[in-house]
Amino acid sequence: MARQRKSEGADVIQFIESCCRVTKGADAGQLIELRPWQKRLMNDLFALRPDGLRQYRRGLIGMPRKNGKSTLASGITLFGLIADGEPGAEVYCVAASRQQARIVFDTCRQMVELDPVLPQIVKVYRSHLEVPSTGSVIRVLSSDAGLQEGLSPHMVVLDELHAHYTTRCGT
């Protein structure tokens, strides 16, 4: 029998609003307050089926530039690392280039460093974030990650979908 998820949209919203902080601008250091449309998005994206499993295995969020996409993606990424109930979770920040993938990763790192509690849970390294108590980790990968063997992702946050090789080639 498939293992049931313990989380749904309300859990993601609660995690982001109580643990994730704004990393830039005048509100830097303040807890994130999701807008109503972002809460609806989290409820839809993390909806559960009657059997307790997630309704969707994939989700696509499209937003214009400078609308908080990386901040929202970072909150979701940290949720996957810390609060999704997956021991040994492998969470990957992926983009066409390693530099682009580091944008979400670096925002996650800053969120951890800005929070008074998260640094006690998450160890921050240059190339990854780790929760030692569960063995969960966030790593950065570029779009050639498909060439790497042995990955077992629990969650993948993929940025700039249009720039990936398979998308450009139409496959």
Residue 164: the pLDDT is 47
Query: Could you report the per-residue pLDDT of 55-94, keeping only the tens digit for each?
Result: 777 777 777 777 677 899 999 999 999 999 889 999 998 8
Q: Would you call 44 helix, strand, or coil by DSSP? A: helix
The Cα 130–Cα 52 span in angstroms is 27
Residue with tokens 């049931």: 4
Spatial CB neighbours of 69, under 8 Å, sequence gap ≥ 6: 61, 63, 159
Tell me the one-letter amino acid at 89: A
Report the predicted TM-score, pTM, of the whole model to 2 decimal places: 0.84
Residue 168 — pLDDT band, cuts 50, 70, 90? very low
Q: For residue range 124-135, what is the model confidence (pLDDT) as tens digits?
A: 999 899 999 999
Higher local confidence (pLDDT), 99 or 17: 17
Residue 148 confidence class, pLDDT cut points 50, 70, 90:
low
Query: CB-based burial of residue 92 (10 Å sphere; 0-12 exposed, 13-18 middle, 19+ buried)?
Result: buried
Q: Give the tens place of pLDDT for each residue, 92-120.
A: 988 777 787 888 999 999 999 999 999 99
- Round to whole Å and give the CA distance between 52 and 29: 35
Is the pLDDT reported for residue 3 higher than 60?
A: no
Instruction: Give 34's contacts (C-beta < 8 A, 6+ positions apart).
Output: 13, 16, 17, 42
Residue 40 pLDDT exceeds 80:
yes
Give the start-end residues of each E strand in the chain: 90-95, 123-124, 128-131, 136-142, 155-158
